[in-house]
Amino acid sequence: MSILCQTTARQENQAAGLLRIATLPGHRGYGSVIHYRGFLVIQTVSTTPFNDQKPGTSGLRKKVKIFQQPRYAENFIQSVFDSLDGFAGQTLVLGGDGRYLNREVIQIAMKMAAANGFGRVLVGQGGILSTPAASNLIRKAGAFGGLVLSASHNPGGPDEDFGIKYNVSNGGPAPEKVTDAIHARTLEIDSYRIIDAPDVDLDSIGISQLGDMTVEVVDPVALYAELMESLFDFPAIKALIAGGFTLSFDSMSAVTGPYATEIFEKRLGAPAGTVQNGTPLPDFGHHHPDPNLVHAKQLYDRMMASDAPDFGAASDGDGDRNLIIGRHSYVTPSDSLAVLAANAHLAPGYAAGLKGIARSMPTSGAADRVAEKLGIPLYETPTGWKFFGNLLDAGMATICGEESAGTGSDHVREKDGIWAVLLWLNILAVRKQSVVDIMAEHWATYGRNYYARHDYEAIAKDKADALMAALRDKLTTLPGMVNSGGTIKAADDFAYTDPTDQSVSKNQGVRVLFEDGSRVVMRLSGTGTEGATLRVYIERYMGVDGDLGLETGDALAPLIAAAQEVADIAGYTGMDKPSVIT
């Protein structure tokens, strides 16, 4: 049996007369050292690395059964702590989206935080904290950082997905230098620290102790709702609703239910029942909590009916994504970002104007034209909200967005689903127009970016990697080629130099650019837990004098064919059509 002990810790505790060491059998062949410090019992448990704990764009995501392996969650959490400096006595924020395994891992994380020297943990009641609410709490509390337990829009349940993400002190996802350090530590970790203590009561708001560490169970909604009320004209929105404006919000049995009920029904006066699927469930009620036209079809059908509400919206598993649908009018995430940026000045929190707009590279260029008209910078970044953090902290951007249904601003350092819905409601309350009319006026002013994303899911990783490798190999030969999409003007593999710190991120997605301004982008997603997902982004711009009323599929048909011709998607994947089109 392996017995581990740090000599310096032994010497310090022996000098204080507080340490007795006992060895106990470790589970499945692993041993531990027990430190008794007063009533605090710290175990240093020997372990061996797992080779699959590399964080993706939003932390570590795996199937629940993988996280349930002995030492798996503990190894990753300890690797996070081992990669940080200066947190002794500091505050850690902790919470998640309520999915299966959320409560169990929260208890582990709290006990490990106490053993590793944190002074305080703030945890959402019931273990609940939406991702934007966690970001806000980190910022408001001056916390050292936070652990957000979520797999975002991925399904939940005993056979589905779980995830852990570390957020830094600005409230945003850990930058690459931190996640790289975490990954390196996961490959060499040999022990983790945890205290032996009863579980904390997560359902009662109040303060308790885990050894020397204070645990404060907080209302997960109140502070976030107050932030929203400070940004938007709640009286105007309330008057809009009181005047007969109807809305429907689908929380998809995920984390935003309590937030939406408090804000839309209690503070803004929407009728009871406005919030659908409002109780967070560990398996999301067997929903796939991804707010797109496939998984939120119930909402889409409601909004396309003859008696549809004026406005419909949905959010995802952890509350950071959104779906916007007006009566008989679906709004793409890229168009939503552009409309929000063009009209943000109508909300009190943004009346002074925007400092800049940032979008991920695969997001359509609709926001670029808004930035140009406003005379402000437009930043094109890789996919992943963490790339926006530096721009927001530097005061270079105010509103950010991704085509994957994430929009947000400098109020937190995460994308924020309810924030996007409230800004839309604020715009509707001031302009007193329908979503259809607002979109028509926007396209008449800026032109229209016809846009779609085709996802090919659960591809064998070797086949997905081979497709991308072959595509990259032919980049230099593509310019000048003519195919169904027209003449290819340029092709590259997107690289980004952060303007705030000059850090470089390479291989962020292959871009095929056509002479008429159209483009096809292909990249592998980092958010899945099974196989690989190929995302194909297809965009065609039509100026104000062009046909702005085409069906999206018709407008993009030549480019869809061009993507197949360039990359031989069917040949590599065996799939003749995408799994999901959004």
Where on the phi/psi map is residue 38: left (φ > 0), alpha (ψ -120 to 50), or beta? left
Cα Rg for the chain, rounded, in angstroms?
A: 25
The whole-angstrom separation of Cα 490 and Cα 519 is 10
How many residues would you count in the chain?
Answer: 582
Alpha helices in 187-262 (DSSP H): 222-231, 234-242, 256-260
Nearest to 563 by CA among 437, 478, 438: 478
- C-alpha distance from residue 202 to each of 42, 110, 216, 285, 525 (Å): 22, 11, 9, 22, 34
Beta strands 519-524 and 406-409 are unpaired
CB 312 within 8 A of CB 425: no
Q: DSSP of 293-324, one letter per residue?
A: TTTTHHHHHHHHSTT--SEEEEE-TTS--EEE
Nearest to 427 by CA among 509, 505, 338: 338
Beta strands 120-128 and 91-96 are parallel
Cα torsion 250, 254, 259, 260 to 10°: value is 10
Beta strands 580-581 and 504-505 are unpaired
**Which one is catalytic: 152, 191, 329, 518?**
152
Q: How many CB atoms lie within 10 A of CB 434?
A: 16
CB 382 within 8 A of CB 360: yes
CB 74 within 8 A of CB 47: yes
Task: Establish whether 329 is a catalytic residue.
Answer: no
Three-state DSSP at 249 gives strand
487-502 per-residue burial string, b: 16 or more CB within 10 A, e: under 16: ebbebeebebebeeee
44: enclosing H helix or E strand: strand 40-46
Residue 501 backbone dihedrals phi, psi, to 5 degrees: -135, 5
Beta strands 191-195 and 161-167 are unpaired
- C-alpha distance from residue 10 to each of 16, 21, 219 (Å): 10, 9, 39
Nearest to 76 by CA among 158, 171, 174: 174
The whole-angstrom separation of Cα 466 and Cα 457 is 15
Instruction: State the catalytic residues.
Output: 152
